[in-house]
Structure 1
Amino acid sequence: MKVSSEKPFEIVYSLFSHEYLGLLFESFVIQLDEKGRLSFAHQNISHVNAPEFAAGLDEKDYALIQWMDEMQQDALVKKLNTKKLKAKEYLRKIYDEKTGNKTIQELIEVKVEGLRAKVLENLQGKRLFEMGNDGNPIWREIEIMPEKAKVLFHFRRNEENTHYFPTIKYRGEKLEWQYRNGYLVCHDPAWLVVDNNLFSFAKGVDGKKLQPFLNKKFIVIPKKIEQQYYKKFVTQLVASFDVYAQGFDIKVERSQPEPVLSLSDLPGTPKVDLFGNKLENEDEDQIVFDLQFQYGDYAFRSEEKASNNVELEELGNNYVFHKVIRDLEKEKSYGDYLKDLGLPVKSSRFSLTKSKAFGWINTHKDNLEEMGIKIRQSAIFKGKRYFIGHAHISVEVKENIDWFDVNALIRFGTYEIPFSKIRKLLLQGKSEFELPNGEIAVIPEAWFVNYSEIFSFLEDQEKNDPVLKLKKHHIALALELQNHNLVQLSLSKKLEKLKDFDTIEDYDLPETFHGTLRPYQKAGYNWLRFLNEYRFGGCLADDMGLGKTVQTLALLAHEKQRTSGATSLLVMPTSLIYNWELEAKKFTPELKILVYTGTQRLKDNSRFAKYDLVLTSYGITRMDLSLLQDFYFNYIILDESQAIKNPGSIISKAVNELKCKHKLILTGTPVENGTMDLWSQMNFINNGLLGNQSMFKKQFLLPIEKKNDRDKAIKLNAMIKPFVLRRLKTQVATDLPEKVVNVKYSTMTPDQEKAYEEVKSYYREKIVNENSLPGLKNQQFMLLRGLTQLRQIANHPRLTNKDYTGDSGKLEDVIHMLNATASEGHKVLVFSQFVRHLAIVKEYLEEKQIPYAYLDGTTKDRQAQVESFQENDKIKIFLISLKAGGVGLNLTKAEYVFLLDPWWNPAVESQAIDRAHRIGQENKVMIYKFITHNTVEEKIMALQERKMALAGELISTEESFMKTLSKDDIQALLE
């Protein structure tokens, strides 16, 4: 019968029995008569027509209607009924006694039971009825009892058997519920209807524990199965519910939990990187922390969440159930506290390497004692007993005349340990040693982190002298430790100034210097003078175009004024010698300069003493090493010092054999390929500053490059900071015009895309899909070769295939923009890493008779090409190979810079840009980076942004790009 939503109505819920699904709920809307009573006019309400009766529904009604819709037969079988049978027919088949499907029956029952539980929990305040056999939804009303009933389980044990039965109390009164036609609506949890009242239960009683007693007074447990029954069933009941027993005892333990951190060991297992290489220091044994709580004689692990625990004890013919009532809230507070201290043992065990574990204990021992948390060592330690008292280290560093004196006091409990013993263990990476009482002391990890570097740089003095020496150029390391309150440091007032660059005193410029230094250049000169006084070597690493040359010449002019007759040596790439000679004549005309180059050079080092400055190249230095090393120079200065970035190279070894009083290096990119570049150059200016190669590799290179260890990068930066001066153009050269960088995306032509996909597929098969490459080096070689070919094809397939006759999308864009800029009268620099790429552009310009300047590694008249571009208004285009044009050029007439292909190292691109964007430039510089869309070029750009974070901590611009690639990165590049 249709119910009108315009007239008074009421929503009710009705309980009915389904032939296969058991008890279900259905929702109805009932029309009210003129006296506000429920009438016989009713209709089913579902989520479809519910909005029609919105005036009489609240949020809970909408939820109840939805759940009741879901438990109806059509909704239940919809996903299961693949043959599209009628719902009734499908259920008849599934529930057939002989051929039925038990698995699906169980799935349906779990679903229905879950819906019943949801409905029952939300019915409070609603009207519930039993449905009549005639379908009347309001046949008999059921009252929903507002409070939860309690169940008490009884056991009466005698000589023959045990009687077991439950009783129910509601509001403290015993409820008569047996033999009263009661029934369970839901079992999990139990909801019971008795005498038209619906009861729920405290402690989530399972209905299966009540069901057998609806029409039975008790259950008898025979003597022969008593023991098994008590162990499996009664212990569970005692743990979870109120149990009244006769014939056996239940003892209840109520107390505060006593927290215990139990320690056990777990042997370390070697770990490998993505390419199967074993990582160093990754196999240290682990200490497992297990948080437990002691209640009297009973202990429970923190991850065991049962609020009550029961153990059964047999005493002769008697049984005793020991019930421990746990305070889970109190236990949780201890777990939370430990988590805040960095030990998340609240829900499971937690392991740390031994040095970290005992370091953590040493740091927090007082906190643990204050909270009453005990530490207990496991018997699993195989007879070892570890020291878990207080470990303390104090280090004192005092400035001496030419070095620092270092003294250290180390204690484990009452034992004072010789500094030499701990230092030796730290350097060997060992963390354990035996104390006089037989306990094993573990050196805290923090000592390795904080002191391993300074200890490794110490130099022994006389045998029994406890004081060790530290070279003064390790001041930064001492300062860094002092900043973190790890050492007591005593410095002279003068050396204190090195803490802050701004406090270095202002030095007068030499009278013989002809020129004016900008404020930041004058500050650089002051810094060079300060290093000079302390005999420290330095690295002037200002951005390209900020005047490293002029700052250095001011220093050399001062040296001539101070030490007349002292000769300095300046080593550089051959292409820069002419530029240095011109600059020296301009700013320091009184310096006597010898250009020691060329095949006609006179190989006589006695001539050097007649000059203030000798200019030579890296190549000549390598060839004439025996001659040069026999002369003692005042300064040895290396320009573009990245030339010695490889410590194993001939030139690197050669310059380290030269003799001098002071050393200085100049570079815009101290780190091009990796952290070892830095070691090589720092070791040249301050020998031993970063230790030997193997120590540096272990302490810094591997943690930084393999593990992205930011703390190590920061520490390395702190060590070199006093000896490296790096100013960015954006920081100091505020008078430079604006620089705008644009990315121009090109689309491959169909022929170009086909060539690209063929090569990409070949290398993806070789590198990603095959595991044939035995090691990382082979993989890197194959990867580099593949990526290089893909980058070349992204430019133009002719770079890899001379027979290619198709077009290139990038070349079309480059030509279009060249024509546009040149026709508007602008000058443009065109950089490419690939000379063959420049040749293709050059071929077009010659075909169209467009004048241009050109420079690559084979160009003889380098200066002439620069001058023609700078001074000839007809030449608007300068084609330059990235390698040949990265240094020594001053091209301030250019207003545009075109970078035809992205390079692994963004710093190299920056150098190219700086050919135009430097002091003397008056125009806005527009930079265009040409990137071919959907190629490895685009992916390299994205990777560069991700890989640059750590490198910024050092004075470099990027780490070795190849070394940082994971397997996922490689796969992404070759997708």
Structure 2
Amino acid sequence: MPSTAPARQRKKSSSSRRDDEAPIIPILARKVREVEAKAQKNKLGPTNRVKFQVIAFLVREERARVKEDPEITDSARAELLKRLDGVATILAKTAARDTSLIQLLEADQATSPVAKRMRRDWLLDAGVELPPEELVIDDAKPVAAETIVPAVAAERAVRPVQVQSRIDANPFRAPSSYHPAGGDQPRRRLDGWELMSPLYKSFALGAGGGSATMPLPEVPEFDRVSPRGLEIMKHQARFLESVRAGHRRFLLADEPGLGKTAQSVLAASIAEAYPLLVVVPNVVKMNWAREVERWTPQRRATVIAGDGKDIDAFADVFIVNYEILDRHLGWLSEIGLEGIVVDEAHFIKNLSSQRSQNVLALSQRVRQTAPSGNPLLMALTGTPLINDVEDFDAIWRFLDWTDGVKPGPELMERLDATGYTPADKAFYPAARQAVIDMGIVRRRKKDVATDLPDKLIADMPVQLDDEFGRSIARAEQELAKRLADRYHRILAARGDRGLAHGEIDEDIVDLVAHGELEESRAAGTDGDNVFSMVRRIGQAKALLAADYAAQLQRSVGKVVFFAKHIDVMDAAERHFAEAGVRSVSIRGEQSTAARQQAIDAFNGDPEVGIAVCSLTAAGVGVNLQTASNVVLAELSWTAAEQTQAIDRVHRIGQDEPVTAWRIIAAHTIDQKIAELIDSKEGLAARALDGMQVDDAATESVQLAALKSLLRDALGA
């Protein structure tokens, strides 16, 4: 981290300990071990990436200082440089696991406020006297209104004709009472602590902490919100009472199927949060419009498509899908939005993605300009955690609970009120509860929908005994051999590592698997790799899975058939047609109207027996509860995607037990993937539901599958 400040002055101590010559080195050694541990578990989130960066630049800075300091003896200088080389070696090993870290070492990457603050705090802990200009660090400026549309989207930006009329008719475009947090803030006890990692850790250690739900009011005596002919459930009524009490920021994380859409629509009505923007996956835009009409018939909703030329600019609710939000950011930031609902909010977990940046920029703008000064912000997702607790990051930023670097003022006040610091064991349950009280609402089906039937996942092994199946077995053997050859080459190059006979070096296993995964991602489904192999297994299972679904349909009625790849869906549909079973298709490339027509036909037409669905396009926000049997022809890479798919059927309105039949290719990597997916379900159970479960690894299923394949090959 380049510094233009004068040479640092160090406080001298009478102690003769070797750390007196370079007291920053023990701090760097401790911090680099923390980063290494996270990297080994594939948990290098934003905080640890910055930590990696700061360590690297301080090592460079300290090495230069040690070489030039005339007061250090030659023997002491050699010892200090050796210790710095040790830190640098660990950094290099970490960068080998995640090559994207290398770009953080460029000089112009080291200027973020969090990096500067981290560097300052570590140097102060080491007893370094810093010049005044390095002590005060300004945070990054908020996104300005004129930069709400990113440069990459500026050329695609549109402005529907009616919009200007709406803007001109709105006398409340400027905020009436709200001023963004800023200026001098009172210094708090925790200001000197790095708090984001402890906050994530508080959820990772969530077992025994109870369900992650803020205190909610009791059910009112009378239902004051449902329109005539409809009735909300008790868990929905309690949530809506919290909105009536004035709460405006929520992570509504109820399990899929508990009516999050209805709760959001009614919450907007209670909060008078109009105009309201709803950002959704494309597949559910029409369903959202229907739900607005159903639960708030006095309000008008308009669905934004393409350039928006057909929108009703004077509607109360604007519904837009993630893919085209960038085209409409400009005018949406100007119409005086009083609320934003982000459906399937786990879609924004990748902060580097354009859709995440679009949503975050717009939410910041709305917080600054909402006429009421307190807009309604709701993130909806039944599966907020996909691989790691740091999946919370983008959602917390959207809700203004944190900025990704530190907690916001309100959360900081709550953390400060606990009376603990991250050095105290009691801090973690207290911090978890402090975040929950900001507005996390998580209810499980078994707790609030006691009349909802059971859900069962049953595995159906199939044998791939044709030539295609044998070719898959050969490809899997060749992949395992390639991994094992790489392992042995690295082991030979590193020399004797003191391994016992038959012992496996897990560091090399990790290195080989990471390297293979990076190459596989670059190649996609080309060549022989984990992605192409899983696709070929799906193709080989297609007709077997379709035949089972057709037989199932004849005996139990309607069936939902999920697949990941188009060719598997195509093969299944041809088989159903040949078998005389009428089916409909729900895919990503369909128009909104065609997709909704297929959903309505499946739910309403008794002649339609099977819905053939894309795991990605139909796995969220679609109601298919007229069926009670699901066939999963291909496995997902995440437990969350599998859960979302099954819960298209297992939801409010279902009155029969639900069975999901997973078609698994026996004696292939398919079996291992199924086991790994099951192990991933423990993350949400521990972090959100407070359940005591096995601490499953947080590495990706792909990486874990490659490691398992390699270990089996080495064991053989």
TM-score when scaled to structure 2?
A: 0.60
**CA distance in 1 between partners of 2:576 and 2:256 (Å):** 30
- Give the direction of change, closer, same or farther, for the CA distance of 1:948–1:872 in structure 2 (3 Å limit): closer
1:947, CA displacement in angstroms? 4.7
2:686 is equivalent to residue 953 of structure 1: yes
Aligned pairs for 1:66-85 within 5 A: none
1:833-844 alignment runs, 5 A limit: 833-844=564-575
Task: State the distance in 2 between where 1:911 and 1:790 align.
Answer: 24
Q: Does 1:569 align with 2:281?
A: no
Q: What residue is the counterpart of 2:478 in the other structure? A: 762
Amino acid aligned to 1:555: A
Q: Is the 8 A contact 1:572 1:616 kept in 2?
A: yes
Does residue 789 in structure 1 map to residue 532 in structure 2?
A: yes
* Aligned AA (1:814): A
Equivalent in the alignment of 2:328: 624
- Where do residues 220-235 of structure 1 align in structure 2 (5 Å cutoff)? none
Residue equivalent to 2:559: 828
- SS of 1:735's equivalent? coil
**Distance in 2 of aligned mates of 1:425 and 1:646:** 23
Q: CA deviation at 1:643?
A: 2.6
Shift of 1:752: 3.4
Q: Could you say which residue in structure 1 is the equivalent of 2:251? A: 539
Q: Is the Cα contact below 8 Å between 1:591 and 1:612 reproduced in 2? A: yes
C-alpha distance in 2 between matches for 1:741 and 1:814: 15
Write the letter of the residue equivalent to 1:841. A
SS at match of 2:384: coil
CA distance in 2 between counterparts of 1:734 and 1:747 reads: 39
Kindly state the Cα deviation for residue 928 of structure 1 after the two structures are TM-superposed: 0.8
Which secondary structure does the structure 2 equivalent of 1:907 belong to?
Answer: helix
Contact 2:212/2:688, CA 8 A, preserved across alignment: no
Aligned-partner Cα distance in 2 for 1:651–1:620: 9
**Aligned runs of 1:198-597 on 2, under 5 Å?**
428-429=121-122, 432-434=125-127, 501-502=214-215, 504=217, 510=224, 513-514=227-228, 515-530=230-245, 533-535=246-248, 537-560=249-272, 566-597=274-305
> Is residue 887 from structure 1 mapped to residue 624 from structure 2 by the alignment?
no
In structure 1, which of residues 636, 661, 669 is the aligned counterpart of residue 340 of structure 2? 636
Q: Is the 8 A contact 1:621 1:628 kept in 2?
A: no
Q: Which residue of 577, 580, 589 maps to 1:858?
A: 589
Unaligned runs of 5+ in 1: 1-262, 286-379, 383-422, 437-458, 485-497, 694-709, 798-809
CA distance in 1, matches of 2:454, 2:236: 21
Offset of 1:623 from its aligned partner? 0.5
Superimposed CA distance per residue, residues 309-337 of structure 1 (whole angstroms, 9 cap, x where no aligned partner) = xxxxxxxxxxxxxxxxxxxxxxxxxxxxx
Name the CA distance, whole Å, in 2 between partners of 1:638 and 1:821. Answer: 37
1:913–1:927: 8 Å Cα contact kept in structure 2?
yes
Q: 1-side partners of 2:680 and 2:706: how far apart?
A: 14
**Cα–Cα, structure 1 residues 677 and 946, in superposed 2: closer, same or farther, change >3 Å?**
closer
Shift of 1:527: 3.3
Distance in 2 separating the partners of 1:648 and 1:716: 27
Identity of aligned residues (%): 20
- The structure whose residues are more often strand, as a share, is 1
Aligned residue number for residue 660 of structure 2 = 927
The amino acid of 1:524's aligned partner reads F
2:359 to 628, 640, 655: 655
**1:912–1:970: structure 2 CA closer, same or farther, 3 Å change rule?**
same
Structure 1 length as normaliser, TM-score? 0.45
Are 2:708 and 1:969 aligned? yes
Cα distance change, pair 587–711 in 1 and its aligned pair in 2 (3 A)? same
Superposed CA offset, 1:530-583 (max 9, x none): 4xx255x211111111100111122122133xx7xx422112123212111212
Task: Give the secondary structure class of the aligned counterpart of 1:918.
Answer: coil
Tell me if the contact between 2:483 and 2:512 (Cα under 8 Å) persists in the aligned partners: no
Distance 1:630 1:552, change over 3 A: same
Work out whether residues 569 and 613 of structure 1, in 8 Å CA contact, stay in contact via their aligned partners in 2.
yes
Mapped partners of 1:881, 1:821: distance in 2: 19
Please list every run of 5 or more consecutive structure 2 residues that lacks an aligned counterpart in the other structure: 1-16, 20-24, 56-74, 78-115, 130-180, 206-210, 408-424, 491-510, 690-695
The aligned counterpart of 1:734 is 450
Structure 1 distance, partners of 2:327, 2:429, is: 39
Query: Which protein shows a greater Rg?
Result: 1
* Larger RCO (CA under 8 A, 6+ residues apart): 2
Is this contact kept in 1: 2:486–2:512, CA < 8 A?
no
**Is the 2:198–2:428 contact (alpha carbons within 8 Å) kept by the matching residues of 1?**
no
Question: 2:399 maps to which residue?
Answer: 685
Change (3 A) 1:276 1:961: closer
CA distance in 2, matches of 1:754, 1:831: 25
Matched, 1:878 2:579: no
Match of 1:667 among 355, 365, 381: 381
Q: Distance in 2 between matches of 1:284 and 1:581?
A: 48
Q: Is the 8 A contact 2:243 2:271 kept in 1?
A: no
Distance change (3 Å), C-alpha of 1:924 and 1:665: same
In structure 2, the CA distance between the partners of 1:599 and 1:770, relative to structure 1 (3 Å rule), is same
| 8 Å contact from structure 1 (residues 891, 916) kept in 2 | yes
Aligned to 2:108: none
Match of 2:631, SS?
Answer: strand
The verdict on how the C-alpha distance between 1:633 and 1:741 changes in structure 2, with shifts beyond 3 A counting, is same
Letter in 1 for 2:571: I
What is the CA-CA distance between 1:627 and the residue it aligns to? 1.2
Higher percent of residues as helix: 2
Deviation of 1:781 (Å) = 2.7
Distance 1:720 1:972, change over 3 A: farther
In the alignment, which residue of structure 1 is the partner of 2:601? 868
- The match for 2:577 among 846, 849, 852 is 846
Instruction: Name the Cα RMSD after superposition.
Output: 4.7
Distance in 1 (CA, whole Å) between partners of 2:53 and 2:307 is 57
Question: Per-residue deviation at 1:951?
Answer: 4.9
Contact 2:271 2:376 in 1 (8 A): no
